[in-house]
Structure 1
Amino acid sequence: MNNPIYVSGGSKGGVGKSINTMGLIHTLRSADQEVLLIESDTSNPDVWKLYKDEIKTELIDLDDANGWIDLVNICDMNPSLNVVINTAARNNRGVTAYGETLNNTLQDLNRNLITLWVINRQRDSLELLKEYMDALPNSVVHVVRNGYYGEERKFELYNESKIRRSVEDKGGKSLTFPELADRVSDDLYSKRFSIDRAMKELPLGNRAELTRWLSEVRKVLGEVIDG
């Protein structure tokens, strides 16, 4: 089996897809895994800007049929790399229209498709998740409750929902992503620092908070990466 394709999804702006993607990239690289980043937010490619000089990256428009063709071909040409797809807020439309292109080629690619679906505490996160699961039925979906919006018990809509039962019945996990202190998170975006660069250039106290957060991220995402 070739290395997996990871999708950092959520199909809403502001739920925390980008920080989840960054945590995933760092966790994989810390385990000596090579990563190919696919940035599909072509209008505002923040994560691509942070990592384009450190790892192999591609900008692909997944609102267009040609983008999905390009995605499959790139995955096929790089079987040894872990593919991490950072999705745009609008991408559910493209998934619904063209996701079958990827879904139907997973066996030929000899890859597993693993989705980390990041949610806040609002209902539309869950409604969009159902659409996504219908469009990509061959993906294992794990739901990531973004701790920025509160502790696990505050995600009542998800915790008590039918969609949670559906996710877990299909082998997915319900995870809680740790919160990173605002001043450190702001540093990453305002200074356009990858996590590796931040660990070298931020002040000591900021680096200590980032180290704490990365340790928690490894515990959470390790449940997915390590199977």
Structure 2
Amino acid sequence: MAKDILISGGGKGGVGKSVVSVGAIDTALAHGETPILVETDTSNPDVWKMYKNELRAELIDLDEANGWIDLINICDQHPESTIIINTAARNNRGVAAYGETLSNTLSELDRRLVTFWVINRQRDSLELLNDYMTALAGSVIHVVRNGHYGPEEKFELYNGSKLRTSVERSGGQSLTFPDLADRVSDDLYSKRLSIGTAMKTLPLGNRAELTRWRHEVHKVLSGALYGAS
């Protein structure tokens, strides 16, 4: 079977899709993979800027049918690589219009489609997930509670919801993504640093915090992607 197609989604801006994409790239690299990044936030391609000199990174607009065609062709041409898709805030529109194009090719691609759906503590990210699950019914969906917005117990709307029950009954997991200190996060984004480059160039204290976060990220995402703990 070919490697997974991984989507970091959330349907809205500011929930933390990019940092989950960065964590997924770093986790894949730690497992000896050579992932391909597909950046769909073409107006503000932060993750693409961080990794474009270190791995294959494509800018693709998934608001248009041609973008989905390009995505599927990349998946077909590189079965040995995990495809990591960082989505734009508006991406639910493109998924609703064209997501079936990808779903219909999964069998021929011989790939599993996995979504990390990133949420904050507000209701709209959950409502958008309902729409997404309908549009991409072929995806395994893990819900990622972004720890930047508080500890796991603070996500009360999701924790006690029927949506959580539906996600977990369908084989998905409810994950809590670790928070990274703002000063280190600001370093990564303002200086366009990959995790690997940051570990070589940031001051020692910053690197110590990044190492802590990195280890936690690997545990969270590896469990969902590779069955490791």
TM-score, L = length of structure 2: 0.98
Identical residues among aligned pairs (%): 68
Report the residue type matching 1:219 in the other structure: K
Q: Residue 7 of structure 2: SS of its match in structure 1?
A: strand
Matches of residues 186-205 of structure 1 in structure 2 within 5 Å? 186-205=186-205
Match of 2:13, SS?
Answer: coil
- Unmatched tracts of structure 2, length 5 or more: none
What is the aligned partner in structure 2 of residue 28 from structure 1? 28
Counterpart CA distance in 2 for 1:24 and 1:97 is 26
Match of residue 38 from structure 2: 38
Give the equivalent residue in structure 2 for 1:18: 18
How many Å apart are 1:31 and its aligned residue? 1.1
Deviation at 1:196, TM superposition (A): 0.6
Alpha-carbon distance in 2 for matches of 1:58, 1:186: 24
1:139 is matched with 139
Code of the residue aligned with 1:200 in structure 2: it is: K
Q: CA deviation at 1:192?
A: 0.9
Give 1:45 shift: 0.6
Tell me the residue number matched to 1:103. 103
Runs of 4+ off more than 3 Å:
none
**Partner-residue secondary structure (3-state), 2:179:** coil
User: Partners of 1:190 and 1:57 in 2: how far apart?
Assistant: 19
CA deviation vs aligned residue, 1:48-95 (integer Å, no higher than 9, x gap): 011000000111100001111111111000110000000000000000
Equivalenced residues, count: 227
Q: 1:193 is matched by which residue type in structure 2? A: L
Task: Tell me the SS of whatever aligns to 1:141.
Answer: strand
Classify the secondary structure of the residue corresponding to 1:99: helix
SS at 1:179 equivalent = coil
CA distance in 1, matches of 2:212, 2:148: 15
Q: Which amino acid aligns with 2:55?
A: I
The separation in 2 between residues aligned to 1:78 and 1:16, in whole angstroms, is 27
How many angstroms apart in 1 are the aligned matches of 2:94 and 2:19? 22
Which residue identity lines up with residue 213 of structure 2 in the other structure?
W
CA RMSD of aligned residues (A): 0.5
What corresponds to 2:48 in structure 1? 48
- Superposition pairs for residues 145-184 of structure 1, below 5 Å? 145-184=145-184
Cα offset for 1:39?
0.3
Partner residue in 1 for 2:77 = 77
- Residue deviations 1:78-124 (CA, integer Å, cap 9, x gap): 11000000000000000000000000100000000000000000000
| Distance in 1 separating the partners of 2:222 and 2:32 | 14
Q: CA deviation at 1:225?
A: 1.5
Could you say what secondary structure the match of 2:75 adopts? helix
Distance in 1, matches of 2:5 and 2:138, equals 12
Q: Quick one: distance in 2 between partners of 1:29 and 1:225?
A: 13
CA distance in 2, matches of 1:112, 1:31: 18
Counterpart residue identity of residue 123, structure 1:
R
